[in-house]
Chain A
Amino acid sequence: MKNLIKKLGLAVLVLLGILCSNKIMAQDEATEATSDKIEANLIAVYNNVNGTARDISARLTKKEGKKWLPVQDVELVLYLNSTDEAGLIAKVKTNHKGDAVFVLNQSTLFNQVKDAAGVYVFTVQLRNQKEFDDADAELNISESKMELAFTEDADVKTATAIFSVYNEKKELVPLKDAQVKFYVQRTYSLFPLSESAIATDDAGIASLEVPAGIAGNEKGVINIIARLEENETYGAVISKQDKNWGLPVTMDEAAASRTLWGSRANAPLVLVIGVNAILIGIWGVVGYIIFLLFEVYYLGTEFGVHHKNKHKHKH
């Protein structure tokens, strides 16, 4: 009897095992069935420029083969401190590069909670997309301050960045070993003034001798930038200022002169006049031919009969 019970118990266990395994398999299938969506990569960066212009830049990409491609026209939502209606800052669609920029200074909510010593929790969310799984990017940002100062001693011109953060008492204190890099703004990119970042000292100071001979505008003005490279706690903190330490560069007159390789506005006059004269000449004749066609039509009307004498003597 005991044996029978043991055997029955074993059979029940095996059956349960089979059923459970079936159930697990079914769940796996169900999971697979709903996992048609693909994984998207969402990253976000906090930018603080001169302490006045703050934004969150998010980028959404998806993997195709070995490439990460931008995802366009997908809505991303930014929350501050809580991921509910109360914390909603804005909804922005990604552009063709997969970027969505949330300008914080335009947000009423952010302006209300903004505090010199504030610590913010930003969450960028991707939700309810047919093609993609949900994704989040969270940033815990503490307010900080980057100041830029300039000194000039004989031929040595020095740019000094002072980086400070808020302590527990909400006092501004210098931060040691923050990695600051200096740049000069060029038309399409940033021109680095040093190969590697410069660490701040005890006073939160990082200094760099600005090399001579950097091309500036016609007055020699260059835009010098000190930037705390993307930092988990403070984000990308930037300070930028104009300084007339560059070489004055005036536009090359030859480049602006009228040449075949010049811009549309600088086409050689001979060409402009020549092409237009040919066009006017040819289209003038075309216009005359169309006028003759109207005359053919007119000659076919009753009024045209009176017109015949004009042509008669020509035959």
Chain B
Amino acid sequence: MESDFKKEHEKLLDLTKELMPQKFGRTGVIWVISLVVIIAIGLVAYIHQLSKGLIITDMRDYSSWGIYISNFVFFVAISLVGSLISAILKLTHAGWRTPLTRIAEVIAVSAIAFAGLTIIVDMGRPDRMINLFIHGRIQSPIIWDVLVVTTYLVISTLLLFIPLVPDIALCRETGVNPSFWNKKIFKFLSLNWKGKKSQFFLVHKSIRILAVLIIPVALGIHTVTSWLFATTFRSGWDSTNFGAYFVSGAFMLGAGAVIAAMFLIRRQYKLENHITDAHFDKMGKLLVLLSLVYLYFNINEYLVPAYKMKHGEAEHLNDLFTGHFSLMFWSVQFFGMILPIFVLISKKGRKPLPAFLISIMVIIGAWFKRFLIVTPTLLHPFVPIQNVPDAWKSYNPTWEEWSIAFATLAGACLLMTIFIRVFPIIPIWETAEERGIIVDTHEEK
């Protein structure tokens, strides 16, 4: 019996060595340096913004929300993927999701952390953040958003961390990454893990509870974010459909982000045996489904008001369809939604490279989609804009805004990169369980 356990444990250690994080090659190093440079430029811009105030942005009385808020909505949207892969697919017993769960969760945690940071950036005076909690009105959707973002961050972090504990213990045991800090970090984070049945029982139980809990919170976070817009009386936002519209868009973006990350990680770590073409195929199908749902909501959001063309709405819609924002609007609709459906619907389109390229289109399209939700509406208030400087009638983000927005995106990517460098990105023990390797090999006397 003891020798059986030893054999199983050796198999587990072999799998661990295969899935351990590896040192980055030249491409990885260039990637990290590029991210650090972008973040540094963003920091300089942010210090400039802190010292001079939000006047250095192009946000004025009318376009009072700019690319910071677009970026925030983008981050919140992308973070929903954690609940899609880790919770919804888990509860529907989609076994193929195992190698993707951690990728989805790390995207979710990084995105939601930077969503919070972006809000602080948009506030202009970060020292006043505390006032949201001290003086905030519970009636305000902004307060609901603060509460739900914080809650979702904590739950996502737990959902990332708990399945990681047995893997951290395995990393500690194999000693493949034996640096001083790795040892210290692994010892601390492995929570005294011995691989006991009782410990596995608690981990399974925790994951099951969190998988159920995260679904309403995830739906809540993006629904509440949509209410930031929909609870105000403005053309383009005055919709009862906004919650479902935002959530469907978020799932689509999240699925795209996972495909992009899958492709890059598989290539960097040579994980073709674990992240297979079948995974791209399934994720591709999922993305088609989610794109169709999102397309449906888009038709609802634009066609119904366009049919009526009420005075205030008409100016906004004309600006989107044929006016100043038309190129961006139709590019987003076509490249970010329609083209992915047509490409991914074919089996060849769901091969890794085309799926990756389409997912990049989805991500870029999704970012600009959020810009189109925020800015054109603000520039078309129901009360006419008059007696104001011409510059207030348009919104062209300044270099500081672009730098800070790019820095937050780079920051989220860097956080994911560091995670992938330190921790195994494919869940080892769950993969072992799927392959029939006994993971709870520790004898309990």
Contacts and interface: CB of A to CB of B under 8 A. Distances in A.
A275 interface: yes
Contact of B201 (A272, A285, A304, A314): A314
Nearest to A295: B202
Contacts of B139: 259-262, 267-268, 271
A272 B202 CA distance: 34
Interface string B114-154: 00000000000000000000011111000010010001001
Given A264-B138, A286-B158, A289-B209, A296 B202 contact: yes
A282 B151 contact: yes
A272 B213 contact: no
Contacts of B162: 289, 293
Interface string A284-315: 01101110110111111100110110111011
Given A264-B137, A275-B138, A289-B206, A296 B165 contact: yes
Interface in B208-260: 209-210, 213, 217
Interface string A236-266: 0000000000000000000000011111100
B193 A296 contact: yes
A175 to B, nearest CB: 43
A279 interface: yes
Contact of A292 (B194, B202, B444): B202
Contacts of A307: 198
Interface range, A side = 35 or more
B206 A300 contact: no
B176 interface: no
A291 to B, nearest CB: 10
Contacts of B209: 285, 288-289
A304 B158 CA distance: 23
B192 interface: yes
Interface in B180-219: 191-194, 196-199, 201-203, 205-206, 209-210, 213, 217
A283 B209 CA distance: 13
A208 B202 CA distance: 84
B136 A296 contact: no
A275 B137 CA distance: 12
Nearest to B212: A285
A312 B193 CA distance: 17
Given A286-B158, A295-B202, A300 B194 contact: yes
B12 to A, nearest CB: 17
Contacts of B217: 282
A299 B196 contact: yes
Contacts of B165: 293, 296
Contact of A267 (B137, B202, B205): B137
A271 B141 CA distance: 12
A60 B163 CA distance: 64
B193 A305 contact: no
Interface in B79-123: none
A168 B151 CA distance: 77
Given A267-B138, A267-B139, A289-B209, A305 B202 contact: no
B445 interface: yes
Interface residues of B, number: 32
B155 interface: yes
B137 A263 contact: yes
B445 A305 contact: yes
Given A275-B144, A289-B206, A300-B191, A264 B135 contact: yes
B213 A300 contact: no
Contacts of B191: 293, 296-297, 300
Contact of A300 (B136, B154, B196): B196
Contacts of B198: 299, 304, 307-308, 310-312
Question: Most A CB atoms within 10 A — which of B155, B193, B202, B205?
Answer: B202
B201 A315 contact: yes
Question: Most B CB atoms within 10 A — which of A259, A296, A310?
Answer: A296
A268 B138 CA distance: 9
Nearest to B151: A282
Nearest to A281: B213
A311 B440 CA distance: 14
A286 B209 CA distance: 9
A307 B196 CA distance: 12
Contact of A301 (B192, B206, B445): B192
A271 B196 contact: no
Contact of A296 (B151, B158, B203, B444): B203
Contacts of A295: 202
Nearest to B165: A296
A290 B191 CA distance: 12
Contact of B155 (A259, A286, A308, A312): A286
A261 B137 CA distance: 10
Contacts of B203: 296
Given A271-B139, A283-B151, A311 B192 contact: no
Nearest to B138: A267
A120 to B, nearest CB: 40
Interface string B386-425: 0000000000000000000000000000000000000000
26 contacts: A259-B139, A262-B139, A267-B138, A279-B147, A279-B151, A282-B213, A283-B151, A288-B209, A289-B210, A292-B206, A293-B165, A293-B191, A296-B165, A296-B192, A296-B199, A296-B203, A298-B192, A299-B192, A299-B198, A299-B199, A307-B198, A308-B197, A308-B198, A312-B198, A314-B201, A315-B201
Given A275-B147, A289-B162, A289-B210, 15 more contacts: A261-B139, A267-B139, A279-B147, A286-B154, A286-B213, A288-B209, A295-B202, A296-B203, A299-B198, A304-B198, A305-B444, A305-B445, A310-B198, A312-B198, A315-B197
Ranked nearest first, the 8 interchain pairs of A and B with the lowest CB-CB distance are A300-B192, A311-B198, A264-B137, A297-B191, A267-B138, A308-B444, A300-B194, A297-B192
Interface of A: 259-264, 267-268, 271-272, 275, 279, 282-283, 285-286, 288-290, 292-293, 295-301, 304-305, 307-308, 310-312, 314-315
